[in-house]
């Protein structure tokens, strides 16, 4: 039996703990915060994410908390016209085996946390942020910020985009601000006009900016996000933003997105960051997972799904591994995941610039490309992304 140390108790870290525990190993999860909580707003879960959740035994629990989406809509933020609509109802669900859904972040984190707490093989340690690690041929020892030491057979850095494990493992500096600022808020659904209370993800695209909204928390709130390409270079995370300042930055929108933004009150802002894809994020008995390995912009809505896929693949590859073979299995995990995750990282960048933010001739070219696509063609376009990777395996029947 392997004893794995996992840095980070977010979605990726808890999913890793479940995957390794279900593979027969012992896991200690080290979380820097004083409690295992996850803040944030909405998350989109495509079928590939649900496939991974089923493998982890929590697919039904997440689905019960989710809002199942009927359509993904791209609309013009200036004119209000629909540019393209991707149906994700009956035919989509039949093809991909699961729904497309949206959840509040806690509605994904809580079922993973509950399952970890119920697993005898998983130990959860809060207030234990990993500061550094040392490894030799047989083991890894981590030192936490408060001076404690933990020793195991391997270490998984699932500690997010500003991973301390990555900083020591790869030494490649901080993540790259992409020059986009995102403002987020939640609006009680009773304040939203009834005509806009649809089970859809709607994105309003405009030159250098976009707005996206969808229901979360069982449909009780509208998740609302507004992004502007402002060349921001300072890494900001969750800073309060004034309502009037947000409205000024999006003053020229069509009536519907403009009216939705005026409903927002408690706004917070982030400067979006990512990294270039890398081929190697494993050395010896230490590897990375999720945003620590391949942080991506939100524009393909795949960050959480890719972390879940990582966890399942890692669990599969370590299922029958003796401790001596762990470094080789970690290399296989890295090799199995780098091409797909790198492709999603680049797609996420391209989507922001080419699909959501173009102007003038570039926007007209986008519209001409989208106009002839029917439902089948749209499903074909996303098939590589929303389908289960080969190693994700069979479902647990929890859907």
Catalytic residues: 214
d(CA 32, CA 159): 9
User: CA of 76: how far to CAs of 88, 211, 366, in Å?
Assistant: 20, 10, 11
Question: How many residues belong to the chain?
Answer: 399
Whether 253 contacts 272, CB under 8 Å: no
CA angle 210, 213, 216 (to 5 degrees): 150
- DSSP, collapsed to helix, strand or coil, labels residue 233 as coil
User: CA of 6: how far to CAs of 23, 305, 310, 311, 315, in Å?
Assistant: 15, 18, 13, 11, 13
User: CA of 268: how far to CAs of 30, 145, 296, 316, in Å?
Assistant: 28, 28, 20, 38
- Cβ-based burial of 373 (10 A; exposed 0-12, middle 13-18, buried ≥19): middle
How many other CB atoms are found less than 10 A from the CB of residue 76?
16
d(CA 375, CA 364): 21
d(CA 171, CA 290): 17
């Amino acid at each position: 039996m392997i004893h794995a140390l996992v840095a980070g108790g977010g979605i990726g870290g808890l999913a890793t703990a479940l995957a390794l525990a279900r593979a027969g190993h012992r896991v200690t999860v080290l979380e820097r915060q004083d409690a295992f909580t996850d803040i944030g707003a909405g998350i989109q879960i495509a079928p590939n994410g649900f496939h991974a959740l089923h493998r982890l035994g929590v697919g039904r629990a997440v689905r019960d908390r989710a809002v199942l989406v009927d359509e993904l809509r791209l609309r013009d933020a200036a004119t209000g016209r629909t540019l393209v609509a991707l149906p994700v109802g009956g035919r989509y669900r039949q093809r991909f085996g699961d729904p497309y859904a949206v959840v509040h972040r806690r509605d994904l984190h809580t079922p993973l946390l509950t399952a970890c707490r119920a697993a005898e093989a998983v130990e959860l340690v809060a207030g234990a942020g990993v500061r550094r690690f040392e490894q030799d041929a047989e083991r890894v020892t981590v030192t936490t910020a408060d001076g404690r030491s933990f020793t195991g057979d391997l270490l998984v850095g699932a500690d997010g985009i500003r991973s301390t494990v990555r900083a020591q493992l790869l030494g490649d500096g901080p993540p790259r601000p992409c020059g986009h600022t995102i403002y987020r808020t939640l609006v009680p659904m009773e304040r939203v006009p009834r005509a806009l209370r649809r089970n859809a993800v709607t994105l309003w695209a405009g030159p250098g900016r976009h707005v996206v909204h969808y229901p979360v928390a069982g449909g009780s709130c509208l998740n609302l996000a507004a992004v502007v390409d402002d060349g921001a270079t300072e890494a900001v995370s969750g800073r309060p933003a004034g309502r009037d300042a947000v409205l000024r930055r999006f003053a020229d929108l069509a009536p519907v997105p403009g009216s939705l933004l005026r409903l927002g009150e408690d706004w917070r802002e982030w400067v979006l960051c990512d990294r270039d894809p890398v081929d190697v994020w494993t050395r010896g008995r230490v590897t990375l997972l999720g945003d620590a390995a391949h942080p991506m912009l939100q524009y393909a809505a795949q960050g959480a799904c890719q972390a879940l896929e990582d966890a399942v693949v890692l669990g599969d590859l370590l299922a029958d591994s003796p401790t001596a073979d762990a470094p080789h299995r970690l290399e296989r995990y890295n090799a199995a995941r780098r091409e797909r995750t790198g492709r999603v990282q680049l797609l996420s960048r391209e989507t922001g610039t080419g699909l959501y933010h173009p102007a003038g001739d570039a926007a007209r070219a986008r519209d001409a490309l989208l106009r002839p696509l029917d439902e089948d063609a749209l499903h074909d376009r996303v098939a590589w992304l929303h389908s289960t990777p080969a190693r994700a395996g069979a479902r647990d029947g929890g859907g």
